[in-house]
Amino acid sequence: MLRLERRPQPSKMWSYLTPLIAVAATMIVGGLLFAALGKPPVEAIKTIFWDPLFGPFASYSRPQLLIKAGPLILIAIGLALGFKAGIWNIGAEGQYIVGAICGAAVALAFYPMDGFFIFPLMILFGGLGGFLWAMIPALLKTRFGTNEILVSLMLVYVAEQLLAAMALGPLKNPEGYGFPGSRNLQQYEAAYNAEIIAGTGMHWGVVAALISVIMAYILLGRHVLGFHIRVTGEAPRAAGFAGVHTGRLVVICLGLSGALAGLAGMFEISGPSGVVSIDFNVGYGFTAIIVAFLGRLHPLGILLAGLLLALTYIGGEMAQMTLNLPSAAIQVFQGMLLFFLLAVDFLTNYRVRIGQKEAV
Q: What would the pLDDT profile of 22-67 be if each residue is shown by its tens digit?
A: 999 999 999 999 999 999 999 999 999 999 999 888 888 899 999 9
Average pLDDT over residues 106-129: 95
Amino acid symbol at 64: Q
At the topology level, CATH places domain 40-324 in ABC transporter involved in vitamin B12 uptake, BtuC (1.10.3470)
| CB-CB contact of 79 with 89 (8 Å) | yes
Q: Note the pLDDT of residue 55.
A: 87
> Could you give the C-alpha distances from 50 to 16, 46, 99, 163, in angstroms and in order?
23, 5, 34, 36
Helix (H, G, I), strand (E, B) or coil at 202: strand
Distance CA 183, CA 176 (A): 8
pTM comes to 0.92
What is the pLDDT confidence band of residue 179, given thresholds at 50, 70 and 90?
confident
Q: Note the pLDDT of residue 178.
A: 80
Catalogue the long-range contacts made by 34-39 (C-beta closer than 8 Å, 24 or more residues apart).
Answer: 34/325, 34/329, 37/325, 37/326, 37/329, 39/323, 39/324, 39/325
Question: Does the pLDDT at position 199 exceed 90?
Answer: no
What is the pLDDT confidence band of residue 359, given thresholds at 50, 70 and 90?
low
Q: Parse the chain into domains and list their residue ranges.
A: 40-324
